[in-house]
Chain A
Amino acid sequence: MITLTEIIGLPLLGAATLMVFKTILPRRTAGIWATLLIGVAFALSVAATVHLAALPAGHRVVTGSLFTWTTGFGPSIAWRFYLDPLAAVWILIITGVGFLIHVYSNGYMGDDPDVGRYFAELNLFIFSMLLLVLAGNLLILLIGWALVGLSSYLLIGFWYERASAVRAAKKALVVNTVGDVGILIGIVLLYQHFGTLSYPGLFSALQHAAPGSAFFTWVAILLYIGAMAKSAQFPLHIWLADAMEGPTPVSALIHAATMVTAGVYFMARLYPLLHLAPGVAAAIAAIGAFTALFAATVAVFQRDIKRALAYSTVSQLGYMFLAVGIGAYAAGVFHFVTHAFFKALLFLAAGSVIHALSGEQDMQKMGGLFRKMPVTAVSFLVATLAISGIPGFAGYFSKEAILGQALLEGHALLWAVGAFTAGLTAFYMFRVFSLTFLGKPRDEKLHQHAHEAPLVMTIPVVILGALCIFGDVLGGWLNSWLGPTFDTYAGGATYAIRSGPVWGTAVAVLLALIGIGAAIVLYVRQGKGAYAGNERGAGVLGLQAWGSDAVWRWAAVVPFQALGDGVRRVNVGFVRALDAVAGEVAAFSDDLRPIETGQIRRYVLAMMMGMVVVLAYFLVRM
């Protein structure tokens, strides 16, 4: 299929051309060229989706293949592409939101000396993400998966002379490699067992398997580790907050709207496998709920606006995994869509604020920006209401879809955690909003120079704001649209969104309102600053994500470093010992040297004596 390769190929073309010509291109053209390509890719994605919709419901799959990737040891593995309704949702968001963020970047990064490299890497990311989503077998998915991690690493470390950014980039790459290895071992097991990695082949084979065997449990765990690393699920969440070292549009696109949801896509894609590993599915839901709560408690204590939003992303991803784990696939996908809108908006608006305050990210230095930046502030408020789950906004519908289905499926505890987290979410988001836009300016100097962002930055923000309000209509559409994906194989029976009991919704909304009220009282009425509550005691721990970095440091980093130091020492001793042996041999040969006199008489004498000994031996034996 021509269209699929074109959708994937355009961003690759952009990345390649920009990499080659970045030094000779005029300043503004790099951004325009990159943005244009993503715009065309979006148009093609829409065309492909329309084409897909025109197919009969039972055959809504478009495939394509290029050439053999490898062969020689069994059935060959080819470059295959696969577009179905699930993938279509993702490519629309990747190219659509991606396009808006490209537009925004023209304003945000326009003055950076390395703008060519920035857009090259941003295009590389879009290419990788499309490859991941449109892959037709797990191996191509893994290639896209790792290239997504690569682009993330490159963009986190974009300002490569900043030591903290460099460290964050390394951390992101290594933690993502943990996930890549999980997927690698998982797909190797699947190939060993089924001799294929293509979705249709694999899923058809899974139809005949009985649920609950150890093999499927292990494979599901390994693949879930991959999703965990990419989507920052506890305990592999540690890289995402540090990833905020990258430029803010990157945080919006990669570390909020698209890349981190790859794990959700992956798990939804693998629903026939999760069906065979019900224990793993339950664990995914439980870890998702825990991650949602855990990250929300951390977000409450953050001082840096981007880190607060990052933990909020982790928390929202927890909701999506909760949905996937309980089989509420459409609800999970719906939340991915609305989250892409409101979280991209939050980051872009935060970027406008940071831009206006010449790079300041500490909320202690903000406050009272509503008047100065009204468009940004109103948009931010819309997204904040959406993420808080206030009725009428898109986030409300998708979150309620997840929580309602949790109740319907009988997961009362998961629901309770989710509802409580919803209250926390409303609290910390209004804390961020109040600290940034309301109250009195806490840093007059910065405040004076603040100004509204240029149009190229505000227009994408406003469009996303509109989507936050009207995105709720997508829920019903997704329900029927995703049908062909989840009806094909066993395991998708509960995919569709169903409304839960009214009392559940009421409780969740009430908690959210309490959270909002508490935030307004604390941060507007009482005028508390961003450091209130996180300067001593438990707050310090909360600021540091309850010590998860320290735990990882002592559990993994230090042991490996100690092992390395130990082995190094052993190795030095080993090479020395080898030289010592060689020295002994040399000394021994020096000792033997006097025997070699060069006098034939003595050699002949020695030979004679030897022969006598040998003869004597045989004579005695006879």
Chain B
Amino acid sequence: MQVFGLVLVPWVGLLGFLFPRAWAKAIALIVSLVDLALFVTLLAHTGPGVNWNWIPELGIHFHLAADGLGLFLVGLSTVLVPAVILASPRAERPAYYFWILVSESAALGVFLAQDLVSFYVFWEVVLIPIFFLLSGWAGENGHATALRWLIMNLFGSFFMLIGVVAVGMIHQTQTGHLTFQLASLAATNFHGAAGPWLFIAFLVAFMIKAPLWPLHGWMPSAYGESPPPVTALISGVLSKLGVFGMLRVLVPLFYPQMRAWEPWLIALAAVGLVYGAVIALRGRDVKMTAAYASLSHMGMISLGIFSLTTAGAVGATFYMVAHGLMAGGLFLLLGWLERGTGSRALSGLSGLNRRLPRLSAWFQLFALAMLGLPGLAGFAGEYMIFQGLIRANVAAAVVAGVVLIVASWYMIRLFQGAMQSTPREEAAAVDLNFGQVGLIGVLAALVVLLGVWPAAITGHVGTLRPSPYHVVALVRQGGSAQ
């Protein structure tokens, strides 16, 4: 029942509308902390989850359960959402907090769903809160930004809907039994002519949501224009939905197609990896530099998945969590930097270290984490992705290696550009207050902990009620351990 609670609790945020506006943040915070507490109980005892017969006529179940793949992404969401709420302005309208909580609920639903229709429903629910957050809070052109988000994602969703229905029907013709349980669908054979098309339908939807090159058209304005906490939410939690979907749906259901197209998929991810990195290298705006770095990292995660190895899948799962913490923290910091100095242009910032010592220290740490410094969380994920990739495609591993070099270049350029070199004295600058230090300190502690002890996650990804991708990957490779 905890899993149902996780999805349900954020809706309690509706209470925020009943109370004075000044209370909205506190209410949202309490609600999100209750969700975090639920996650902690889930860590202690995962339990069987809930599996209700939702629409029996169509074989649709409402099936939520935490497995090795989803559990730690649930953890990421429940940790990051309170941070996002804490970092938001106190005077914000109740609707702002409500939409953040709704997006949390929907994301948790996706991470927990074990039934393809349940998965799809939560997947679609995500669109709504983000649409309203973008349209209401993402600056003057917020409506256009929100429409770009909505239209691109709906485009993907419709393909996915066709895919969901077709997958269920093909399963029915093969077994005489209509169901959308992912565990059952994994045994279905999609070798026919429809197989590749269904695969592409799902792939497009997942790529748009991540986003992955070349379907990242909604990203620049959404990341660039939304308030920093919302950017942290999108890049930290919601961007994981797309790559998560690949592990949850594509690998178990479409393994043969992925195997057949592996070189192309890897090339696709590698292009995105390079594309984001070289744009970040020439970034002129601190936030957009981080945004394209994020795009590059999505390419890295999908490389791990497309390697179709256990190491790659475990690495991708780990890196999703690590990246959520790192990118979430970095976008929050950049938001405080923008608020403290009134500027986002790299050309307008310089030598702020002396006046912003606290912000600078944490910024340095998160920049190092993002560039993959061994000892911090990002590296552990990258290492495992490389371990998988080397088996699948050595050339791609070399390209990814070059991108790691570029990554250290663009992250240090970003950090130094804002914080070091000759200071400008004219503008005022406001350093972090102690609340902000505490908030970023918690995220940083997790980044360090996961860097020193990745086994905290990877030790459970495969063993804790093995998730479909793991089983399938093992079976198809004849039980090989890598």
Binding site for B on A (CB under 8 A): 67-76, 139, 142-143, 145-147, 150, 153, 157, 160-163, 166, 169-170, 173-174, 177-178, 180-182, 184-185, 188-189, 191-192, 560-561, 563-565, 567-568, 571, 574-575, 578-579, 582
Contacts and interface: CB of A to CB of B under 8 A. Distances in A.
A192 B420 contact: no
B279 A173 contact: no
B405 A73 contact: no
Contact of B374 (A145, A561, A578, A582): A145
26 contacts: A67-B453, A71-B455, A72-B314, A72-B458, A72-B460, A73-B315, A73-B384, A73-B481, A143-B374, A145-B374, A146-B375, A150-B368, A150-B373, A157-B416, A161-B354, A166-B421, A177-B409, A185-B397, A189-B390, A192-B482, A561-B281, A564-B279, A564-B281, A575-B217, A582-B148, A582-B151
Contacts of B373: 146-147, 150
Contacts of A575: 217, 220-221
Interface string B137-158: 0000000000110010000000
A595 to B, nearest CB: 21
Interface in B370-399: 371, 373-375, 379-380, 382-384, 386-388, 390-391, 397-398
B446 to A, nearest CB: 16
Contacts of B416: 157, 166, 169-170
Interface string B391-426: 100000110011011101100110010011111000
User: Quick one: which of B383, B422, B452, B454 has the most chain A CB within 10 A?
Assistant: B383
Given A166-B416, A170-B413, A574-B217, A191 B387 contact: yes
Interface string B444-477: 0000000011110011111100000000000000
Contact of B482 (A73, A76, A161): A73
Given A69-B380, A184-B401, 19 more contacts: A68-B455, A72-B459, A74-B481, A146-B379, A147-B375, A161-B354, A163-B422, A166-B416, A166-B421, A169-B416, A181-B405, A184-B382, A185-B398, A189-B390, A192-B390, A561-B281, A568-B279, A574-B217, A582-B151
B275 interface: yes
Q: Dominant SS at the A interface? A: helix
A561 B390 CA distance: 28
Nearest 8 pairs of A and B residues by beta carbon: A564-B282, A73-B311, A72-B458, A578-B217, A564-B278, A146-B374, A177-B408, A70-B454
B404 A177 contact: yes
Contacts of A191: 387
A163 B350 CA distance: 10
A166 B409 contact: no
Contacts of B438: none
Contacts of B382: 184
B353 interface: yes
A173 B421 contact: no
Nearest to B459: A71
Nearest to B388: A73
A177 B407 CA distance: 9
A72 B375 contact: no
B214 interface: yes
A162 B481 CA distance: 51
Nearest to B277: A564
B263 interface: no
B105 interface: no
User: Quick one: which of A70, A169, A185, A192 has the most chain B CB within 10 A?
Assistant: A70
Q: Dominant SS at the B interface? A: helix
A147 B282 contact: no
Contacts, number: 161
B351 interface: yes
Contacts of B419: 160
Contact of B278 (A68, A563, A582): A563
A69 B454 contact: yes
Contacts of A180: 374, 404
Contact of A161 (B280, B379, B406, B421): B421
B420 A166 contact: yes
Given A161-B351, A567-B275, A74 B482 contact: yes
B452 to A, nearest CB: 8
B442 to A, nearest CB: 16
Given A74-B482, A561-B281, A185 B412 contact: no
Nearest to A131: B375
Contacts of A71: 455, 458-459
A568 B351 CA distance: 26
Nearest to B390: A188
Contacts of A185: 386, 390, 397-398, 401
B354 to A, nearest CB: 7
A385 B439 CA distance: 57
Contacts of A561: 281-282
A47 B387 CA distance: 38
Contact of A73 (B221, B281, B387, B453): B387
Nearest to A159: B420
A294 to B, nearest CB: 24
A188 B387 contact: yes
A72 B412 CA distance: 32
Contact of B401 (A169, A174, A181, A574): A181
A574 B458 contact: no
Nearest to B482: A74
B46 interface: no
A154 to B, nearest CB: 9
Nearest to B368: A150
A157 B415 CA distance: 12
Contact of B375 (A143, A178, A181): A143
Contacts of B380: 69-70
Interface in B64-91: none
A218 to B, nearest CB: 9
B302 interface: no
Nearest to B401: A181
Nearest to A178: B405
A163 B422 CA distance: 6
A228 to B, nearest CB: 14
Contacts of B412: 153, 169-170, 173-174
